[in-house]
Amino acid sequence: GNGATEFVQGYLSTSLSAQHQTIILRGDSAFATPDLMETLEGNNIFYTIRLKSNPRLKRMALDGRYVNLNNLLMIEGQLTTDEFEYQAASWDKARRVIV
């Protein structure tokens, strides 16, 4: 994640001049920085970044009020997926989290 924002900004300034491209970035938890996410969002770049687990995320993931039965995926009764809005303390806005 070190220098990721500068790398993306450099890539954008040289590679997207007149071209229309779809860019998707995948990153581990080191990439979950506000400046990088804001850069990606400001340039319409799709991204998925793994977040470090924390007590608040765990609580939200396990909280029944977020369970939408129409969106659950069950595999042998072991796996479910859901999504919700989450705002880390360092972020200026909430973002979509999939668990």
Q: Where along the chain do its domains lie?
A: 1-50, 52-99
Within 10 angstroms of residue 48's Cβ, the number of other Cβ atoms is 11
User: Mean per-residue pLDDT for 40-48?
Assistant: 89
| pLDDT of 27 strictly over 50 | yes
Q: Rounded to two decimals, what is the model's pTM? A: 0.71
Higher pLDDT, 59 or 79: 59
Higher pLDDT, 79 or 9: 9
Looking at residue 48, its pLDDT comes to 93
Q: What percent of the chain has pLDDT over 90?
A: 24
Q: What phi and psi values does residue 82 have, to the nearest 5 degrees?
A: -160, 175
* Backbone CA torsion sign across 48, 52, 56, 62: positive
